[in-house]
Amino acid sequence: MAESLQDGQVLKVRDLEVKFYTYAGVVNAVSRISFEVYEGEVVALVGETGCGKTVTTRALTRLIEHPGRIENGSALFKRRNNEVVDLLKVPEEVIRDIRGNEIAYVFQDPTSALDPLYTVGTHIVETVTNHRKVKAKEVLRDAIRLLKEVVIPSPELRVKNYPHELSGGMRQRAVIATSLSNSPKLLIADEPTTNLDVTIQAQILELLKNLQAKYKMSLILITHNLGIVAEISDRVYIMYAGKIVEEALTTDLYYKPLHPYTQLLLRSVPNPLKRIEKLESIPGVVPSLINPPPGCRFYPRCPYATDVCRREEPSMIEVEPRHRVACWLYLKR
Amino acid sequence: MGLTTFLVRRAVTFVPTLLGVLLITYLIAYAVPTDPVRAWVGEKLMNPERLQEIREKYRFDRPWYEQFAFLVSELLSGRLEDPVRQRNVFTELFYRFPITVEVALIGFIFLVLIGIPLGVLAAVKKDSFIDFFVRIFALTGSSLPAFVLYYFLILGFFVYTHTTYLAGIPYPTQTCRDWIGSLPTTYPYVGNFISAIGSVPMFGAAMCGEWFVVADTFKRLYLPGLALGLLNGGFIARIVRNSLLDALGSEYVLFAKARGLKKLRIWRHVLKNAMIPVVTVLGINFGGLLSGAVIAETVFNIPGMGRYMYDSITRLNFPAIIAATFLFAIIYIVTNLVVDILYAAIDPRIRY
Amino acid sequence: MSIVKAVYEALVKVINFYVLVRDKLSPGWSTKNSSRVKEWKLMAYAFSKSKIGVLGGMIVFVVTLLAIIGPLLAWEPYWEYKVVEDPELWYHPPCIPPWCSGYPLLGTDEWGRDIISLSFYGFRISFVISLFVVFLGAPLGILLGLVAGYKGGLIDEVIMRLTDIFIAFPGLILAIAFASVFPQRIRAFLEANTLLRDFLSFIFGLRPNEYAQLAAILSVWVAMVIVWWPGYARIVRGSVLSVREQPFIEAAKLVGLPTRKILIKHVLPNVLSPILVMMTFDLATATLFAAALSFLGLGPQEPVPELGYLISKAGNFFPERTAHIVLYYGTILLVIALGWNLLGDALRDVLDPRTRRSIEFREGG
Ligand SMILES: Nc1ncnc2c1ncn2[C@@H]1O[C@H](COP(=O)(O)OP(=O)(O)O)[C@@H](O)[C@H]1O
Ligand code: SF4
Ligand SMILES: [Mg+2]
């Protein structure tokens, strides 16, 4: 293993590549992306729908299903016992034990994430007992505490409720409680508020932020909503068509967006604190991931595009400290 | 709001449906245009006085509403008489009903034995040859005229190989039947229920431990059972396959994986969810098997309710047809009720 | 594969033609509906890729053709009992040329009629009955389901209770009961309406004086329609309930469109695909169902060669003299039903947006 984790890093992903082998052709859903997550940090992963955010994070614990394949890359992860493992290479049983235990997920749609035939309590209990040898009774007590923690009223009753007996917001809280049940080191929240009412979105975000601090875990927050980003994240990765195009501290990103795509994104959100549902105001569409253009993937939509952008792919460079971008505008030739 | 409330609610809607069923059986009766009395009375006994007597008995000389009132009251009070056999229709039906249940039940067993393993196989090997085969098997099964299949099964199994014999239904011994008949007096309520179940010869024999009777029943009825299994097994397999694939591809299963659940636990989620549509369809199919029994019993010459229905049609025996239809409808409603209860027991979303 | 291409191109031609006609009727239609047309072409593509669907389509095509021209092809009138002249013709076994000659290829039935010639008539009867049942039963159910689902309240309650009651009977049993009581009334009706009688005998390919048999066919038909509509009413009502809540219906109401228009223009198209699939499957079921009723002696009888009835008669001498007859007629029924079932199975995939998208994904449009 050539690389190892630096101080304070929990996760270091290098050259991750995921492809889907469909009859139409090979979909390059994620193309050699690299990023890292530090302990106790909130990282936002931002991009339009279909740019590969979900696939990226699911690849971390090898949740990619047929016809998808993880082609390349490494994902070093520091486990609870401080052992560093490559998530993409460890045996199946180890990755199974890491899932839901050290790396937990909150999915986009709370309605479909919970099995309708099982109570909220059962979901929590099985998540714990499949990783640790404990009595179901004890876990049930713990489950009530967890539900209290995610601010579900009368948790003693709710723990016996079936998913359909809860409202959308409550369901997402229950999902979060389930994911927290093993106190994970890293929580991945995949657009946790997209399917919820606007009024509830803010509550859930605040909850996530509080819990992240309380549990001292790292949080990867996936969103296509830059408004959310400003509120809770420390650092941002901007994704476009299966690639990371910019990386910055949140404040830097708003202060001085470098990539033309980021600039357009921000312009379409006049006030970053005001939530906007879609980023559709940028003309053009995301290029097909089946045959991505050879040069810069943003080239067809970019107002500053030059000839070199079409021919050659820009590499990631550090323009300012902790602010990196992949764009020919910043590459001296 | 628990299971009980649900059941009570369900039972309440049962009543208007039953009333409606009566209404339709009446409509059928009223649709009788001319008097079928001649068809009822055999050639030998045909004389004007006798015809007149029967005509009066069934109110054929009165307006239709009186006919209806007569038929319904006779039906509900259990006094309705089969004019051809000249005995109470219910005596006839209660003798034949358990036989039909046996045929349907054995068919059901074949259905499950053929449908579920094939469906699981097709789901596990999705898009493989087996999957394609199951699809074709299902489509062929639902395209085959049942009676043609029956004929050729008889040809293959009976005429050529003599592996089954078709006549007669085995019954438990007299002591066993007496014991079952005495149950209601020894154990009130529960005894009635058990005794009713025991009136199906196969069950009765099983209750007395007379396994040779059970075995004999299977030996005699496996052919119609196999036929029913062949006709509908593919369809069941497709349902099993699709619901398994739906469950396997669902978000909650992915989330279960993301929570690091063990394989066995994940399969529990998959199977329980996949069971819901399967139970529903199996229930509907059981009703269908009863209905299909008419043809099966006619071809295989089994003296069940279906055969009774068939014989009654050829003699324009409307009182019998109406009584049988009514009984069939009740069985059908009860099967649906049982399915709903099962359904509610599995799926908490239904209990409201 | 060339078949795929040929089928696809043929379907696209049909679609293009339809678009052309619509455009002529109301100029600008094609530009307004271009995405819909594209979707249709995608469906056509998905269908042409489905081996099962193409096979089913071909069978249905041939079956339809045979049903139309069948009675014209039949070389013997079904009402002539040749056995009267030549007793040898009583269930004459198949007569295959090199070994035997002078008798029909597949032998004869009890009246000495050529099995094959007879089957052409049977073909028409089975086919037409199934069409009649589905094309009357389905619209009836759809209409009631639409009204129940859209209107709600008391109307909904009444219609759905009625549906429940009909669904409470096993279909075949109810149909048996009805079919056994109708014929005499219908016969009287036919005797009074000779025009209808002539029309029906023409449709079924029978002689006009076949009163009793026509009445029997009609009563099977009516009985089947009675048991057929509830299934549709239920499904349609369910879909309408889910469609009704959607914003575009609200919008249509706000604009002040009359109910009838909303139902036809906005609700119906949204529930059409599952119905179309169901109707295709039901054509198979109805074919077999009608045959089963005749098999039980409820349909037409002598001399009308209904397939179910012919099989039940052949059953009397099964298997010694008639195994091949049962096999032959059974195969005809099987092929008719199989055609519809194959077609329906493919349509279900093609019309389901979920699977269709996966096809699109795989094939790249
Ligand atoms: N099961 C799959 N089969 C084929 N392609 C897929 C599949 N899942 C995802 N993809 C492709 O991967 C790309 C990234 O998807 P995803 O990560 O879900 O996007 P995001 O989460 O950013 O909206 C999409 O363009 C999609 O086409
Ligand atoms: S590399 Fe060229 S095309 Fe791509 S974002 Fe930069 S300027 Fe635009
Ligand atoms: Mg996503």
Q: Which ligand is nearest to the CA of A295?
A: 2
> Does a structural domain hold residue B324?
no
Residue-by-residue DSSP string for B103-161: HHHHHHHHHHHHHHHHHHHHHHTTTSHHHHHHHHHHHHHHHS-HHHHHHHHIIIIIIIT
Distance of CA B343 to the CA centre of its chain: 19
Q: Residue A240 in 3-state DSSP?
A: strand
- CA of A260 from ligand 2 middle (Å) equals 7
Nearest CA-CA partner of C275 in C240, C248, C307, C305:
C240
- Least confident segment among A247-251, B217-221, C307-311: B217-221
Q: What is the pLDDT along chain A (333 residues), one digit of tens a residue?
A: 446 888 889 999 999 999 998 766 788 999 999 999 999 999 999 988 888 999 999 999 999 988 899 999 999 999 999 999 999 999 999 999 999 999 999 998 888 899 999 999 999 999 999 999 999 888 999 999 999 999 999 999 999 999 999 998 899 999 999 999 999 999 999 999 887 887 888 889 999 999 999 999 999 999 887 777 888 899 999 999 999 999 999 999 988 999 999 988 887 765 544 444 444 455 555 567 887 878 899 988 888 989 999 999 999 999 999 999 999 999 865
* Portion 332-361 of C in contact with A at CB < 8 A: 361
Contact criterion met (CB < 8 Å) for B328 and C297: no
With contacts defined as CB-CB under 8 Å, which chain C residues touch B333?
168
The alpha carbon of residue C296 is apart from the nearest alpha carbon of chain B, in Å, by: 7
- Asked whether residue B343 is domain-assigned, the answer is no
* Residue B290, in any domain of the structure: yes
Distance CA B107, CA B226 (A): 6
Q: What is the pLDDT of residues B100-119, one digit of tens each?
A: 888 888 889 999 999 999 99
Nearest C-alpha neighbor of A184 from the set A37, A30, A69, A13: A37
**How distant, in Å, are the alpha carbons of A71, A103, B141, C74, C313 from that of A293?**
20, 34, 51, 65, 72
CB contact under 8 A, C173 and B24: no
Rounded distance between C-alpha atoms, residue C156 and residue C149, angstroms: 6
Write out residues with Cβ below 6 Å of ligand 1: A 20, 22, 27, 29, 47, 49-55, 67-68, 289
The pLDDT of residue B167 is: 60
Supply A95's token pair: 């990755």
Distance A282 CA to ligand 1 centre (A): 21
Of B262, B272, B349, the CB nearest to A130: B262
Q: Whose CA is nearest to atom 1 of ligand 2?
A: A327
CA-wise closest residue to A112 among B342, B264, C358, B258: B258
Q: What is the pLDDT of residue A158?
A: 93
C262 shares contact with chain B (CB less than 8 Å): no
Q: What is the pTM of this model?
A: 0.83
CA distance readout (Å), C246 to C149, C150, C194, C251, C254: 14, 12, 50, 9, 13
What is the arithmetic mean of pLDDT over C350-354? Answer: 77
**Containing structural domain, residue B289:** 90-172+210-314
Tokens of C60: 């249905």
What is the domain partition of chain C in residue ranges? 77-342
C363 shares contact with chain A (CB less than 8 Å): yes
Mean pLDDT of chain C: 85
Total domain count for chain B? Answer: 1
State the sign of the Cα–Cα–Cα–Cα dihedral C275, C277, C279, C281. negative
Please tell me the distance in Å from B291's CA to the nearest CA on chain C: 6
Whether residue C235 lies within 8 A of chain B, CB to CB, comes out as no
Q: What is the pLDDT of residue B164?
A: 56
Query: Does residue B140 fall inside a structural domain?
Result: yes
What is the rounded distance in angstroms from the CA atom of residue A165 to the CA atom of residue A57? 30
How many angstroms separate the CA atoms of B346 and B52, rounded? 58
List the single residue in A with minimal CA-CA distance to B273.
Answer: A117
- Taking the CA of A23 as reference, the closest ligand is 1
Q: For residues A306 and A303, give the distance between their C-alpha atoms in angstroms, rounded to a whole number.
A: 9
Please check the confidence at residue C183 and state whether its pLDDT lies above 50: yes
A61 touches chain B (CB under 8 A): yes
Mutate to test the pocket of ligand 2, among A258, A282, A296, A316 (most ligand atoms within 8 A of CB): A296
Could you list which residues have their CB under 5 Å from ion ligand 3?
Answer: A 54
* B124-183 per-position pLDDT tens digit: 988 889 999 999 999 999 999 988 998 888 888 776 666 555 566 788 888 888 888 888
* B258–chain A Cβ distance below 8 A for any pair: yes
Fold of C77-342: MetI-like fold (1.10.3720)
Subunits with 3+ C-beta pairs closer than 8 A to C: A, B
Shortest-distance atom of ligand 1 to CA C361: 4
**Cβ contact (<8 Å) for C333 and B148?**
yes
Residue B83 lies in a domain: no
Percentage of residues of chain C with pLDDT beyond 90: 26
| C312 neighbourhood in chain B, CB within 8 Å | 147
C-beta of residue A114 within 8 angstroms of C-beta of residue A171: yes
**8 Å CB contact between A237 and A46:** yes
Looking at residues B313-326, what average pLDDT do you find? 80
Q: At what angle do helices A168-180 and A136-149 cross, to 10 degrees?
A: 130
Q: What is the mean pLDDT of residues B58-66?
A: 76
Nearest to B325 among C173, C297, C342 (CB): C173
Residue B51 falls within a domain, yes or no?
Answer: no
Is residue B214 situated within a structural domain? yes
Q: What is the CATH number of the domain that holds B295?
A: 1.10.3720.10
Q: Specify the DSSP class assigned to residue B274.
A: H
ipTM rounded to 2 decimals:
0.91
Starting from the CA of residue A298, give the closest ligand: 2
Pocket test for ligand 2, best of A302, A311, A316 (most atoms within 8 A of CB): A302
